[in-house]
Structure 1
Amino acid sequence: MKIMILSSYAPTLFYFREDMMKAMMNSGHEVIAAAPESEKEWGQKFKERKIKYVSIEGIERTGTNPIKDIVGFFSILKVIKREKPDKVFAYQAKTIIYGCIAAKLVGVKGIYALMGGLGSVFRNNDRKSLAKDILKMEYKVAFNFCDNVFFQNKDDSKEIINAGLIKEKKIVMINGSGVNLEKFKEKPLSQNPVFLFVGRIIKDKGIIEYIEAAKIVKEKYPEARVQIVGYFDTNPTAIKEEEIYKYVNKGIIEYLGPTNDVRPFLEKCSVYVLPSYHEGTPKSVLEAMATGRPIITTDAPGCRETVVDGQNGFLVPIKNANKLAEKMIWMIQNREEVERMGKESFRMCKEKFDVNKVNKVILNTMNL
């Protein structure tokens, strides 16, 4: 069969879906990857992995221009017509909505979507939000055309069901995107207190609280290192570069820049921290667990899937820098427990979040 994987951002096809695409190819299927970035820029990178890459014009991951969205929809429609896939697998909001609708119009027989998280627009608490109302309507239409929709946490699926956007029988639960345990291996913890955050530098990831907590921690333990790895984004909740460097210059945090390989940074840290407001199931946490790191994250949708409080780390309330700092300080003061928690993270990851187990559910559901 010919399977088309639709994304609104090409790099995520490597970061989140490469193992899944390999599993599909290993089962004898042809895979086509489609995203807005140019074929000139990305075609060769995919060709090296024996995957055909096609560009879909007009889709802007965080854009709000309806004209560009219409152009994007017709571009997806054109690409699906030309490539004639047997099945379409879409993830990320815009490619789920426009991709699933386009696939149905073209007559694709197998249509699947993966919800990696509901996102900042959907989780906007403003009941009068026009953008949220439009998004709900679009999701309802798209989900109606799907054979199945994969969800990574029960909070998201419950919210979508309660909103009347999908029939419960279409939902298939998976344990995040999984993590490749051959690539991410258990490593000794740093002997020094080094806290690490990896992700987009946006408010919804809890960056503000992380910095505020860093101030508190470093007042008591000035030798502690609080690090950020990630890129500056165009998301509506994006934080400006100069705002981050204000705290770098004060010695409160270390900004280590973006990276294509988080493993060297994970290996040098002792505790992984993600104070996010909401996630699907955070892949960065799974990678930290695979390397044997204890986790501090929030008791929020998606994040709470990764931590048994007190076992492999701690869950803290969202938007609460004081509680976050309290648990970071506890990690500094309880070295033996930190070691134990790191080992428990690795055990949990191996048991629940192995990418091969996750991909098996996806491929079985898609009859591949």
Structure 2
Amino acid sequence: MGSADLQSKRVGIVVNSAWNIINFRKGIVLSLLDRGYKVFAFVPEDNYAEELRKLGMEVIITPLKGTGTNPFSDFRYLQVLYNKFRKVKPDILLQYTIKPNIYGAIAANRLKIPVINNVSGLGTMFLGKKIFSKLAFQLYKKAFKDVPMVFFQNESDRRFFLINKLTTKDRTIVIPGSGVDINHFKSQGNDRPAYRNVFLMIARLIIEKGVYEYAYAARRIQSEYDNVEFQLLGSFEESHPRAVKKEDLEYWINNGILNYIKPVSDVRPKIENSDVIVLPSYREGTSKTLLEGAAMAKPLIASDVPGCREVVKQDINGLLCKAGDSKNLYETIKSFLNKTEDEQKEMGKESRKLIEDFYSEEFVVKTYLSTIDRLLA
């Protein structure tokens, strides 16, 4: 493909927030821009939209109500995407998160625009009431039937789609999440005080991330061990239908159970100042939190579920616990605390090695670029 051809190619990235691109997709965006593509972001307006413009992207505002399954607002979103796609005329679309994957695919199919969908997890619709799971299934079936390529972040999710005939094996690839920039996320080698154990959970404050289990385990551990600290870093959106209760969060903070940290632009200092990364999530695509923590040579404690178990190797770079089981999480953390300092440090070294071998961002970007070349050939 010559340079003149590159200059004329238009790539659209469709996702539920500009924040998502800045935090998870920046590597692929910069690579596309370096190639000479014109890159469009189809996102709702938020505080990060201007950051996308600074990168060199053109931002196409597409209002989206991120949660819930209101058929009227979802239909409006579909119509907005269709109209925006028809006007911008992208040559290919890269889509992320549930609603862009579904409604973006339906709109793109009508306009004969090739799509790469990225399934970063099956979403809470599959964890909730059966009626919503059935609705989600039908929407996925309609949307994905003509999508030429689907990237999955773990084999369990791909297997679910294949078993249920939502796509075919030749149109799927498993990639290691969004990968990690191993040069950006690396430990500075600062020794942590042996007497202090800092556990850090980075996640949105919603039920499915295991926040309640984390708080329960923290309270029990603190009653038995001295010099332990449990930090919780993430966005709290009180209006979110599955958000933890505000009074519960205030109780944890006021009673010293959790040290709550609001979202920060750079999580590396927080990771560096911790000893263990914890994520008792009910399900993930591939957890970015775990990847970043592992890249900075931290031991990991996470649920034995898709999206977590791939990154946490039992008794090698961390420990696995049962999802939704507060007592088991407590016992798992206690098991880690009973390990020697050398054993804990060795887990951290193994975490870094795992990331270097299998989860570099460079691999993910190359996979995207080669797939785009093939679909545009």
Residue 366 of structure 2 is aligned to residue 360 of structure 1: yes
* Distance 1:204-1:42 versus aligned 2 partners, 3 A rule: closer
Q: Secondary structure at the match of 1:366?
A: helix
Matched with 1:306 is 311
The answer to whether the 8 Å contact 1:111/1:148 transfers is: yes
Give the superposition deviation at 1:321. 2.0
* Distance 1:218-1:120 versus aligned 2 partners, 3 A rule: same
The answer to whether the 8 Å contact 2:286/2:307 transfers is: yes
Give the superposition deviation at 1:331. 2.8
Residue 36 of structure 2 is aligned to residue 28 of structure 1: yes
Give the superposition deviation at 1:186. 2.0
Residue 195 of structure 2 is aligned to residue 190 of structure 1: no
The 1-side partners of 2:205 and 2:316 are apart by 28
Moved more, 302-311 or 356-365: 356-365
* Distance 1:42-1:83 versus aligned 2 partners, 3 A rule: farther
Give the superposition deviation at 1:187. 3.3
Any unmatched runs of 5+ in structure 2? 1-8
What is the aligned counterpart of 1:96 among 97, 101, 121?
A: 101
The 1-side partners of 2:52 and 2:87 are apart by 19
Q: Secondary structure at the match of 1:228?
A: strand
Matched with 1:19 is 27
What is the aligned counterpart of 2:207 among 203, 226, 231?
A: 203
The 1-side partners of 2:75 and 2:284 are apart by 28
Matched with 1:37 is 45
Percent of residue pairs bearing the same amino acid type: 32
The 2-side partners of 1:121 and 1:115 are apart by 14
Matched with 2:179 is 178
Matched with 1:225 is 229
Give the superposition deviation at 1:211. 0.7
Q: Secondary structure at the match of 1:114?
A: strand
What is the aligned counterpart of 1:48 among 54, 62, 67?
A: 54
State the aligned residue count.
361
Any unmatched runs of 5+ in structure 1? none
Moved more, 325-334 or 294-303: 325-334
Structure 1 ranges of 4+ moved more than 3 A: 41-44, 233-236
Normalization by structure 2: what TM-score?
0.92
Q: CA-to-partner distance for each residue in 1:1-39, whole Å, 9 max, x for gaps?
A: 21100001221011111111112222232211111226x
Matched to 2:207, the amino acid is K
The answer to whether the 8 Å contact 1:43/1:52 transfers is: no
Give the superposition deviation at 1:269. 0.3
Q: What aligned pairs does 1:127-276 form with structure 2 within 5 A after superposition?
A: 129-188=130-189, 190-191=192-193, 192-233=196-237, 234-276=239-281
The 1-side partners of 2:76 and 2:325 are apart by 42
The 1-side partners of 2:232 and 2:32 are apart by 34
The answer to whether the 8 Å contact 1:186/1:346 transfers is: no
* Distance 1:160-1:235 versus aligned 2 partners, 3 A rule: farther
Matched to 2:127, the amino acid is R
The 2-side partners of 1:133 and 1:149 are apart by 21
Matched to 2:57, the amino acid is I
Give the superposition deviation at 1:241. 2.5
Give the superposition deviation at 1:235. 4.2
Normalization by structure 1: what TM-score?
0.94
Give the superposition deviation at 1:65. 2.1
Residue 342 of structure 2 is aligned to residue 340 of structure 1: no
The 1-side partners of 2:122 and 2:361 are apart by 22
Give the superposition deviation at 1:114. 0.2
What is the aligned counterpart of 1:9 among 5, 9, 17?
A: 17
The 1-side partners of 2:214 and 2:81 are apart by 39
The answer to whether the 8 Å contact 2:22/2:51 transfers is: no
The 1-side partners of 2:292 and 2:300 are apart by 11
